Structure 1
Amino acid sequence: MIKNKSDCKRHDKSLFLELLNKTALSSSSQKAIIWGNIVWTILFVAWTFQGTIYGNAWLGQALGPLVFIGVHFIFGLLVASVFYFLKVKNKLLLSSIIMAPIVIRFLAISFGLKLALMLYGFYFLINIFVCCYVRQLVNGKVFNKHIIGLSIFSPIFFLIVCNLTKAPEIGHFIDKNTIPKLDLAVPSPAIVGPYKVETFTYGSGKDIQRSEFSGGSVLVTDTVDGSILLENWNGFRAFFRKIYWGFDSKALPIQGRVWKPKTYDASPLILMVHGNHSMEHFSDKGYEYLGEHLASHGYTFVSVDQNFLNNSHSEGFFEYDIGLEGTDDARAWLLLKHLEQWREWQRDPDMTLIGNVDLDNVVLIGHSRGGEAAFTAASFNKLSHFPDNAKLEFDFNFNISGVIAIAPSDGRYKPRGRLASLKNTSYLTIQGDVDADALIFMGKSAYSRVEFDSQTFNFKSSISIHGANHGQFNSDWGRCDLYQWMCDLTFYDDLIMEQGLQQEIAKVLVSSFVDIVIRKDESYLPIFQNADYLTGQFPNTYFMSNYFDSNYSKIATFEEDSNLRTGQSGLIAGTNFESWREIWLQLHPYWSGTDLNTHVVELAWNESSLATYRLSLSDSLDENSCIGFAISSAVCEIETKTAIDFTIRVADKRGETAELPLSQFRALFPLLAKKARIGLQAFYEPVFQSVRIPLAKYIKSNTKLDITQLQFMELVFNKTPNGKIYLDDFITAKCH
């Protein structure tokens, strides 16, 4: 054993003896480490308390980190006790071992396990160097070969980490291709409307954190008992939430911000609800841009406050989340309780402040978890009881004309263990493709669970926006969907559009949707049927849209049976495919939370032989009819540099044919790769786009073609030599 008291005056082999803890770190070095930890702790506690004083945090926020560190400290003591019998003397090195579960767990959340282990290895090496050379530094021996080696190694390591965390060159396929665009011959829905806007708030008067909903509320509301839906609101959660908010789950407030037009005309009601964010960082004001805009167009807009259902920093740390869970049904129920409150006001002849609100035309909008809440609320609306507990009776029955889900979650609440569904209600879901919070477009799953079987016109649409993120749909959530330092390390910021542009797109989509479903103004319907009209509004922005409405007649949806050769209206035939199968499609391979909830046909072909896919037609069609389908590439932009094209042929019963290329109606780019988080493997997900082809276009190609006697439509894969696609929802319809 080496006895030299100087920590590092020994040859290189002694460094490894140091690692084996045969030599104790000097007492002065150990004291420096102890004092460093004390200073760090004081700064941490000071930060927590100043946050409490200024209202951005509260005393309970210290609880989560302290409990977390305490648990790991106990674990560290167990580790230390084992090493005690090995006569470990080097406390700095031991601290690296004790801290390992904390550091690796934290890093793995953001970087993935492999990179976390690599980073921790670097942290461990730093401790070794400090352990071995702190005494030399104290004695003024700043430069030696090991310190020089470390100074060289550190930037090299940094470059390696940057290379691992930086997103590959993804999402740039469209930058090198022309984005098709069409002009809509109507005024832009983003133009400010003719009405002046007034605003006020309503609340319970008991929210000690929100003066605008207590002393500042214009209208005072009664509280509601949500304890049946919030079984997790108990113990320490209930104790600290009662301290912070001033109420518990038996007295939930009904409170919101209102923007309404100054008019005596009936004003349709729109409710907007935020998602899960830190409850101390209030989210309800972030939709002011939508409230001002829609109120100027004659709608009463309410941004509903549900911050008290969100998680708090005090209830979890480094993703050890012990916050409220199972709140998604409560979020939906509270939306409907807001509608109940408006119904009571509307029946009160003395209630003049709210004006003439039209409760026969209601639209629910939600962002993030609020998007799922809006969908679930619409499914609750006609029920007599809460599906999971008959003790809670429902008596809502509002006329909910439509639901909009912005970057929604899905499947967090499952009545009777099954995903919620909607019938005969229009639905719009939108999402950005650089969303680092909701990594995948879960609204597409809900889209597949919206069905129509009435004579009333309804439609559904899903729209993907290239360059939009999660947070910028809310003005207060901002550009970074994660912690800021995580965003800085992803190098992903350059792919995100400006907040102003993202919110202008939201205004166009939301305004157009509510005008269609409430005012029956179908002049904006092409925006949802064909994404190229959106590009006409926002040049150089790439959109993908899928669309279906209640007037469509189904040819094949692939939900009928397991027979590849049958559809709803006739037979299907395919030849020379490398792969032809019907599958239950996942959102993407790395996601197990929810599927697309639809069967599709997958077709793959190569240049060795001509592949064709034929569907028989039986509907009575004319020159005002359209045929169509939904299509998604199944190939990622990392794998190919070309868009997919093929021929769409129709034939009548006399044998006359006409054909048109897909590219005339839809540019089918490969799927854009996504990598919005550090350490996450680049991935892609299927995004379906609608293709609608007016049969009149075929008559121009062949004037002998008898549109009224069409026998089949056929996809002929004679343009792109190799490819793979997904197809769904073959339809016929009247062209608008």
Structure 2
Amino acid sequence: MVSSGKSIHIMKQTFFWLKNRAVQTPAYDSKLKMIILSLWLFTVLSVIIAGLATPTGFGAQVDLLVYIALNTILFILSAGIIGFVLSMIYVPLPRMFIGSLAYFVYINHYILSEANLGTVFSWIVIGAYFLVAFCVGIILTVIRTNRLSLMNKGLVSLVPAAIILFILFWSPTIDQHEVEPSFSEDDGVSPLAVENPAEEGDYEVKTFSYGNGSDNHRSEFKHPDVVSNSVDASEYTNEWERFRKFFWDFDETSFPLNGRVWMPEGDERFPVLLMVHGNHRMENFSDEGYEYLGELLASRGYIAVSVDQNFLNFSNWTKTPNNDYFLRAWILLHHLVQIDEFSENSDTPFFEKVDMQRVAVMGHSRGGQAAAMVGDYERWFSEDEGLARMDNIDVQAVIGVAPTDNQVDDMRAELRDVSYLTIHGARDGDVHNYHGDRQYSRTWVDETDHFKAGVYVAEANHSQFNTDWGHMDMRLPGGLFLNRSQMMSAEEQQEVAKVYISAFLESTLGGNEEYVPLFRDIRHGSEWLPNTQYVTRFESDAFHPLVDYNSANDKTELDDGIRAEGLGFDTWEIESAVNRGGSTKRKQGMVFEWAESGNYSLFLPEEYSQEFLTASYDSFVLSMANMENEEDEFPDVPNVDVTFETTDGESATVPLENFRDVTSAIYTQFTRNKYADELMREGKYENATEPVFQTYEIPLHYFEEINPDFQVEELERITVSFSGGPGRFMVDDIGFFEE
């Protein structure tokens, strides 16, 4: 009994001690109540931002209510439990504040880590975010106090308010690198005497959808106008998470073929373009984002189809299915097969309306890589019996809008007998490397009627090519830190896409060669395009290369007996072009670096000149990439002259600037604060420039006008002279265009 009574006494003492420690927990927090409240408010703001990037499919309002409620419960528990533990060990500090701060740091670190923003960057953001929350708490404390007059409250609040404004709006910029517009009134290049390809055509447009009827979220695919097949992808993927199955109500054994169609009204057979999005969040659908293209192209006589592949996209809850690059191309091929089947079925709007010999495929981001894989589909799918009908389908053109370029089964697409167009923004914060340039290099047009073109747009980003994707190239919260100060509007960016994609289809599927000059010289489109800086490349079967450094092993002894000489350069070496990330672009070129000036000469052997220069050539061509970067102190772009000398001693020199200004490097500050470029996403954005090739043409008749005795068929020596140094350029693709 004595022992039992003692135990009860100890229990009572313990209970009263715990109760006392609980009562004493906030003993040091009385002056910090508003700061604790501010920490809670800022965690609410954090989960709202993160919640918008982490949809569940039940709607944004439901998501945010749940996230805010859970956050509030966890905040209270963290502050209470940690504060109570500190009270039990008699820590003479503001315990509830410490508990609140611990949760504040944890939840923000978790959110930033999930966004893959980088360790150092995340901690800097957390520190700055805490300082803002702390200052807001001080301001709330000052406002709440009765000890100060209204004027004194305002004066005391000035310091924390100034700190908040400094943190939020301090953003040093690279103001010395302004974009140099490509169009000027005195450039001597006339606009094309054809209608703007971005203007609507004469065809009436009807819209409809096709799908297998299994979609839970969109009525146009739940109740489609045309019922399509399902395809079994279980042979290629086995990672279909429960949430993904719950959200879509299907798995890898029954992928739907869903498409939005814009079709011209008419009795003839029309070319068809498949358009496909990339890897956006699967809960925020992407397939409506190309309606602006679908409506335009259908009015101009093309069947445009936006393909739904949202079920392959990223989700915070399930990540991305394995093998998704492969699946994106595979599903595109099945859409072509499905449309081919529809075209033979009198119960569908496609019946006798589709010309399957004039097919183009356009993809954005990962979709751009999938489109290229479709153009080279036999590399991956030659043994797939379900795609046998592809033998009857002729993919004539491929368009990559800011495409990725990853290996799939240790291979990449190589396009032959296919025209290729790639468009990329220099301010692309997602696919920040110009990967379309690599696919351009793996496209051969030397023995066909096709061509390839690249368009690099100074003020364009990644997302604005799709109207569903908004203006941020990263999901929240990362997108909040990206810089938009030097970015064109979504309408302008989409106008670039409309002009180029429409003109490309007219030139490739429509047989309208009047638009081809736009791809050779963008200044022909000055009345159609926003006046920003463009860097463009072009090559067709009319190009006859003189020098290709990809096969050169010696910088002085080149193919076909051509000899090279460099004078005045600090260095001149054959190197591989690299992108921002340091990966090669596949192409090699000759890199020249000089302090004041340098001359690069190519000597043609007599027998080569007699054979090579007998064709009827229109212009001399070379491609150059400005390799300037932030560490350089190059005051201006160089002057470049081209000199032709013949075997009988005649010569003619033409300044390149007479035809086109030498392209300056395009600098991109990706983040709001330039110092963050080196930290965010582990330094993904640390390189402000990327060398991008510009194709330059000099009409041969200008050499003859300078020296009437000059005869190109007697050409013996070509000299490219650089002056106005210092400078660093890469040169490639030297040759001639045939008339």
Aligning the two structures, in what range does the TM-score lie when normalised by the shorter sequence?
A: 0.7 to 0.9
- Closer, same or farther in 2 for the Cα pair 1:613/1:204, shift >3 Å? same
1:628 maps to: 621
Residues 231-252 of structure 1 deviation map (CA, whole Å, 9 limit, x = unaligned): 332xxxx211222222111111
Q: Distance in 2 between matches of 1:26 and 1:79?
A: 10
- Closer, same or farther in 2 for the Cα pair 1:24/1:112, shift >3 Å? farther
Determine whether 1:465 maps to 2:457. yes
Q: Which of 600, 604, 610 is matched with 2:589 structurally?
A: 600
1:410 maps to: 405
- Closer, same or farther in 2 for the Cα pair 1:146/1:25, shift >3 Å? farther
Tell me which amino acid in the other structure corresponds to 1:275: G
- Closer, same or farther in 2 for the Cα pair 1:459/1:151, shift >3 Å? same
Check the 8 A contact 2:618/2:700 in 1, yes or no.
Answer: yes
Q: Distance in 2 between matches of 1:129 and 1:517?
A: 61
- Closer, same or farther in 2 for the Cα pair 1:155/1:731, shift >3 Å? same
Map residues 309-348 of structure 1 onto 2, 5 A cutoff: 309-315=312-318, 322-348=319-345
Check the 8 A contact 2:25/2:83 in 1, yes or no.
Answer: no
- Closer, same or farther in 2 for the Cα pair 1:245/1:177, shift >3 Å? closer
Q: Distance in 2 between matches of 1:170 and 1:654?
A: 48
- Closer, same or farther in 2 for the Cα pair 1:722/1:621, shift >3 Å? farther
Determine whether 1:643 maps to 2:637. yes
Q: Which of 353, 357, 360 is matched with 1:360 structurally?
A: 357
Q: Distance in 1 between matches of 2:221 and 2:103?
A: 47
Deviation, 1:484, is: 7.7
Deviation, 1:327, is: 1.2
Check the 8 A contact 1:202/1:257 in 2, yes or no.
Answer: yes
Check the 8 A contact 1:628/1:730 in 2, yes or no.
Answer: yes
Tell me which amino acid in the other structure corresponds to 2:654: L
Q: Which of 90, 108, 124 is matched with 1:103 structurally?
A: 108
Q: Distance in 1 between matches of 2:59 and 2:434?
A: 34
Check the 8 A contact 1:447/1:462 in 2, yes or no.
Answer: yes
Deviation, 1:34, is: 8.8
Q: Distance in 2 between matches of 1:351 and 1:136?
A: 71
Check the 8 A contact 1:48/1:58 in 2, yes or no.
Answer: no
Determine whether 1:727 maps to 2:731. yes
Deviation, 1:304, is: 0.7
Q: Distance in 1 between matches of 2:142 and 2:196?
A: 71
1:674 maps to: 668
2:15 maps to: none
Residues 565-591 of structure 1 deviation map (CA, whole Å, 9 limit, x = unaligned): 133332222112111111112112xx1
SS of corresponding position for 1:519:
coil
- Closer, same or farther in 2 for the Cα pair 1:658/1:156, shift >3 Å? same
SS of corresponding position for 1:243:
helix
Check the 8 A contact 1:229/1:327 in 2, yes or no.
Answer: no
CA RMSD of aligned residues (A): 4.2
1:6 maps to: none
Deviation, 1:161, is: 5.3
- Closer, same or farther in 2 for the Cα pair 1:325/1:690, shift >3 Å? same
Q: Distance in 2 between matches of 1:170 and 1:191?
A: 37
Map residues 151-300 of structure 1 onto 2, 5 A cutoff: 151-156=158-163, 158-159=165-166, 162-163=169-170, 165-169=171-175, 172-174=178-180, 178=184, 180=187, 181-215=189-223, 217-233=224-240, 238-300=241-303
**Structure 1: runs of 5 or more not aligned:** 1-20, 316-321
Check the 8 A contact 1:459/1:549 in 2, yes or no.
Answer: yes
Q: Distance in 1 between matches of 2:592 and 2:42?
A: 63
Determine whether 1:542 maps to 2:533. yes
Tell me which amino acid in the other structure corresponds to 1:701: I
Map residues 273-672 of structure 1 onto 2, 5 A cutoff: 273-315=276-318, 322-349=319-346, 351=348, 353-381=350-378, 384-385=381-382, 396-397=390-391, 398-411=393-406, 414-452=407-445, 455-482=447-474, 490=482, 492-493=484-485, 495-538=486-529, 540-569=531-560, 570-588=562-580, 591-592=581-582, 594-607=583-596, 610-616=598-604, 618=609, 619-621=612-614, 624-636=617-629, 639-672=633-666
Tell me which amino acid in the other structure corresponds to 1:424: D
Check the 8 A contact 1:512/1:524 in 2, yes or no.
Answer: yes
Check the 8 A contact 1:92/1:131 in 2, yes or no.
Answer: no
1:14 maps to: none
Q: Distance in 1 between matches of 2:324 and 2:259?
A: 18
- TM-score with structure 2 length normalisation? 0.82
- Closer, same or farther in 2 for the Cα pair 1:46/1:123, shift >3 Å? closer
SS of corresponding position for 1:547:
strand
Check the 8 A contact 1:648/1:714 in 2, yes or no.
Answer: yes
Residues 276-315 of structure 1 deviation map (CA, whole Å, 9 limit, x = unaligned): 2222222211211211111112111111111111123444
SS of corresponding position for 1:533:
helix
Q: Distance in 2 between matches of 1:556 and 1:724?
A: 20
- Closer, same or farther in 2 for the Cα pair 1:683/1:129, shift >3 Å? closer
Check the 8 A contact 1:79/1:98 in 2, yes or no.
Answer: no
Determine whether 1:689 maps to 2:687. no
- TM-score with structure 1 length normalisation? 0.82
Q: Distance in 1 between matches of 2:669 and 2:99?
A: 36
- Closer, same or farther in 2 for the Cα pair 1:171/1:298, shift >3 Å? farther
Tell me which amino acid in the other structure corresponds to 1:277: H
Tell me which amino acid in the other structure corresponds to 1:612: Y
Check the 8 A contact 1:162/1:489 in 2, yes or no.
Answer: no
Determine whether 1:713 maps to 2:718. yes
